[in-house]
Amino acid sequence: MLTVDMENKENGSLDVKNSVENGRPLDPADWAVIDVVNYFKTAGFEEQANAFQEQEIDGKSLLLMTRNDVLTGLSLKLGPALKIYEYHVKPLQTQHLKNNS
The model's pTM:
0.78
What sign does the CA torsion over 42, 62, 60, 7 have?
negative
> In this model, does residue 1 exceed pLDDT 90?
no
In the predicted model, what is the mean pLDDT of the chain? 86
- Domains (ranges, CATH) in the chain? 28-100 (1.10.150.50)
- Number of other residues whose CB lies within 10 A of the CB of residue 4: 20
Give the per-residue pLDDT at 3: 41
Instruction: Read off the pLDDT of residues 59-69 as tens digits, 9 standing for 90 and up.
Output: 999 999 999 99
Mean pLDDT for the stretch of residues 76-87? 98
> In this model, does residue 16 exceed pLDDT 50?
no
